Chain A
């Protein structure tokens, strides 16, 4: 890798160059793109059930041992209850034991479908397969097919064995599968939904009631141009919403990557138009998002009016911040590929900054192809900086090694001209903006751009205050090393911004952001 990398190579930096270069090297197999054994992500089963957790009055029946069900229930359902005020939500398991693993679990599955139908009376039962039942070869499709005439709920098998794909394959699989629950559009079904959109690519349950979330902001903007949202798929959507979803004027992708799978599946199956941009952080991306939606809604004039109105509301503060930031350098943490690319887009387009994405794992080049292609096609090619710590066994998210490497890199930069966009758990010696902090929402739309501007201003205004030695010692204790936001103790994990960790048994539920 180092032989191929362009300029800027040092003892600690293994790649520093444009995204397009990293992308090319990865495709040519000249960059190791595998994740280290310590960099585990949620498996296909987890990501599949994360999307399924966002469909109201459905039951996820996990066919396998009970641990898989318990894990996702604690991570997703407990979080739904805590954040969104939703009632207790079960995740059911066929609870296979050693005996069933040897003799097969089809009988258990058949029995479980009947029991769940009677117990919960759900609209849909999703049968999510686990590693165990995938390996022993239970014929889940046949059991489900046979049970269809015997239970009231709709049944849908989801083949999401944990070993059957990388983590995002579970998202894509479920988004493609739930399209099968939808009704083909007719002129009659389209008429009442001519002014409606679906927001696609969401996961888990209802939005937090007490937080100005990004999705709420998008809904507000859609309504601001005289349209409405039929459904947020799959963010607490119902079967009825799903059934009529293809009849809307346009699907708007919440997240380019994840929304792409369902958006293209609905476009190919039903002809529902797809409007997708990178995550609508900031003004430029939001305007693309709104303009794309308006075109299909026939509301271009209203959208224009909305955009002018929204911009006018934030203009003074936003432009003051822009004037201050233009030409400065932004270092963006690369742990979440989609977010960092979207933030790079916003900072470049909206604020005229130079964006450098720090420790973007080369693994993301294959996992996030859609977003990277989009970014490159739109002429954006942010700088990528990868240090040795990113590729080491250990956890790069909050690892002492990567932290020291970051500080070394920043040593050459002027603190007055550089802003760090990343987690508050990092301690660079430059102003830091944490866009994941719960109070820094929404990040989408004009209000999001203003929020970013305000965050940057606050970070700069208080740059004179050294970061707390107390919190630094919490994150990086003496003799620390192999550490990770993914392995925080439960209490710390709960307070980690934006749910980057697994649920802890002792504490409140948490979600996995990726």
Chain B
């Protein structure tokens, strides 16, 4: 059982490390192919929608977004005509099959009838119009992703309209992950499923067509790739479409043991136990062989190093077993950005199984992360660039910048799931360790003047 951290002076103020519902919804829309977005909002909200597209790294020539740029008079008088004009203009210019018409806080509060406008306009435009009310106050980005997934449900064909395809799955919410190149995790999952003879029907959504979304009910199972969002969608898919969830009660495949458990469960489900065992044997052999040759020093480095993990539930929960069992670190503090009952239960079960009781907090903000790091004696922090700056401020020498937003230049996609994924994490951690511990300049003043090289003596 974990010990939950409490924080004073946080009931009314939050220093957010997660965006709003609009960003989450945009992060779902951005994963659908051949759509455009008309945002009915003041112009600043376009930046929030851009974050959703950034999260998918949508090529900058493929972003089709327009904004009504609401001003005061629009707020007072309503701006239905302005919206209609822009919808027509966007339809003619972008020429996409589907157009999401998204109202943000302002349109949501003043009660713009986006649904009615779309209904009236539909016969006059080519794109299928999908109205969405996405006021940022409807929750954080995780809530927004859940809302976005919910919007897609009516488009999915009823079970009686489709034929179930055996050994096929939908992958749910891969984008709800702080791996800076999360699509590499999705790719790894797709690859191992292929090895097991399982096809991916739809990804909800990443470069998904509306056709794929409509036919999601043909899949024989759903695999949730996040512990931060998607549980509601998973349940709806099971209840309304008869598509059951798989491995939702296991941590995602981060580290050796978690990957083994995950692969074993999938192998069992799809009658591919032998393939699963082969993947596990090959993967573990690769990790161990590479680490033996290149990273023996991680053993004395990491053993009994007290660490804080500040992450999303997706990566964070999986990391804990890897850090504790495989690297022999001691997770002292676990800070998760989201807060769902499912993630709480999973974390609790993991910690009980490991026999450790770190301090834990859910739905943390920047202040709480800072306070937790300050009030616990840790040697290192796993997190993003936010945690890196906080660690510097507090005086924690080791900050492993492995999550988004990261300070790294990342050119190649790198999975965190699976065996290479583990090596990817360890490589980053190893380099951050090296950089932190490397001497930057010799302090000559601690030596006799005679020992200083001539060139250095002449400098001021």
Contact B63 A482 (CB under 8 A): yes
**Given A95-B13, A504-B54, A505-B54 in contact, is the A484-B60 Cβ separation under 8 Å?**
yes
A-B pairs with lowest CB-CB distance, top 7:
A67-B20, A43-B44, A111-B12, A37-B66, A162-B42, A480-B61, A40-B46
Is B135's CB within 8 Å of the partner chain A?
yes
Give Cα distance in the complex from A503 to B17, angstroms: 14
User: How many residues on the A side are at the interface (Cβ–Cβ under 8 A)?
Assistant: 90
Closest to B85 in A: A37
Give Cα distance in the complex from A87 to B394, angstroms: 9
Is B55's CB within 8 Å of the partner chain A?
yes
How far does the Cβ of A472 sit from chain B's closest Cβ, in whole Å?
A: 13
Contact B392 A87 (CB under 8 A): yes
Q: Which of A45, A109, A503 contacts B44 (CB 8 A)?
A: A45
Contact A482 B64 (CB under 8 A): yes
How far does the Cβ of B143 sit from chain A's closest Cβ, in whole Å?
A: 9
Residues of B close to A16: CB separation below 8 A = none
Q: List 11 A-B contacts (CB under 8 A).
A: A61-B13, A66-B18, A66-B19, A66-B136, A67-B22, A70-B17, A95-B13, A489-B58, A491-B57, A505-B19, A505-B23
Give Cα distance in the complex from A504 to B89, angstroms: 27
Contact A88 B406 (CB under 8 A): no
Closest to B104 in A: A131
Is B273's CB within 8 Å of the partner chain A?
no
Contact A67 B70 (CB under 8 A): no
Contact A131 B42 (CB under 8 A): yes
* Per-residue A-contact encoding for B85-108, CB less than 8 Å = 1, 0 else: 010011001100000000011100
Contact A71 B19 (CB under 8 A): yes
Is A415's CB within 8 Å of the partner chain B?
no
**Given A65-B136, A489-B57 in contact, is the A87-B393 Cβ separation under 8 Å?**
yes
Interface 9-mer from A96-104, A188-196, A299-307, A309-317: A96-104
Give Cα distance in the complex from A118 to B90, angstroms: 49
8 Å CB contacts to B: which residues of A252-284? none
Q: Which of A70, A75, A507 contacts B18 (CB 8 A)?
A: A70
Chain A interfacial positions (CB closer than 8 Å to B):
35-38, 40-46, 61, 64-71, 73-75, 78, 81-82, 87-88, 90-98, 100-101, 107-112, 114-116, 118-119, 130-132, 135-136, 161-167, 392-394, 476-477, 479-484, 486-494, 502-509
Closest to A70 in B: B16
Contact B404 A506 (CB under 8 A): yes
Q: Which of A71, A74, A489 contacts B60 (CB 8 A)?
A: A489
Contact A90 B65 (CB under 8 A): no
Give Cα distance in the complex from A284 to B23, angstroms: 46
Closest to B22 in A: A67
**Given A71-B19, A111-B12, A482-B94 in contact, is the A132-B46 Cβ separation under 8 Å?**
no
Contact A66 B55 (CB under 8 A): no
Is B405's CB within 8 Å of the partner chain A?
yes
Chain B interfacial positions (CB closer than 8 Å to A):
8-23, 38, 41-48, 50-51, 53-55, 57-61, 63-72, 74-75, 86, 89-90, 93-94, 104-106, 109-110, 135-141, 180-181, 366-367, 370, 385-386, 389-390, 392-393, 404-407, 409-411
How far does the Cβ of B365 sit from chain A's closest Cβ, in whole Å?
A: 8
Contact B20 A162 (CB under 8 A): no
Contact B61 A162 (CB under 8 A): no
Contact A90 B15 (CB under 8 A): yes
- Which of A43, A92, A131 has the largest number of chain B CB atoms within 10 A? A131
Give Cα distance in the complex from A126 to B63, angstroms: 35
Give Cα distance in the complex from A509 to B106, angstroms: 26
Contact B23 A67 (CB under 8 A): yes
Contact B180 A506 (CB under 8 A): yes
Contact A131 B60 (CB under 8 A): no
Give Cα distance in the complex from A131 to B57, angstroms: 28
Residues of B close to A41: CB separation below 8 A = 43
Give Cα distance in the complex from A108 to B404, angstroms: 30
How far does the Cβ of A81 sit from chain B's closest Cβ, in whole Å?
A: 5
Give Cα distance in the complex from A479 to B140, angstroms: 36
Q: Which of A69, A88, A96 contacts B16 (CB 8 A)?
A: A69
Residues of A close to B58: CB separation below 8 A = 489
Contact B135 A132 (CB under 8 A): yes
Contact A91 B65 (CB under 8 A): no
Closest to B57 in A: A489
Give Cα distance in the complex from A116 to B51, angstroms: 28
Residues of A close to B43: CB separation below 8 A = 40-43, 162, 167
Contact B12 A490 (CB under 8 A): no
Give Cα distance in the complex from A35 to B46, angstroms: 14
Closest to A119 in B: B9
How far does the Cβ of B432 sit from chain A's closest Cβ, in whole Å?
A: 16
**Given A82-B385, A163-B106, A487-B63 in contact, is the A37-B57 Cβ separation under 8 Å?**
no
**Given A70-B17, A112-B13 in contact, is the A37-B385 Cβ separation under 8 Å?**
no
Give Cα distance in the complex from A112 to B57, angstroms: 36
Give Cα distance in the complex from A208 to B63, angstroms: 31
- Which of A35, A40, A101 has the largest number of chain B CB atoms within 10 A? A40
Contact A492 B13 (CB under 8 A): no
Residues of A close to B71: CB separation below 8 A = 163-166
Give Cα distance in the complex from A366 to B21, angstroms: 34
Residues of B close to A481: CB separation below 8 A = 61
Contact B86 A37 (CB under 8 A): yes
Give Cα distance in the complex from A61 to B367, angstroms: 13
Other A-B pairs beyond A38-B67, A65-B105, 8, CB < 8 Å: A61-B13, A67-B22, A91-B16, A131-B41, A163-B74, A491-B57, A504-B54, A506-B55
How far does the Cβ of A504 sit from chain B's closest Cβ, in whole Å?
A: 4
Contact A508 B406 (CB under 8 A): yes
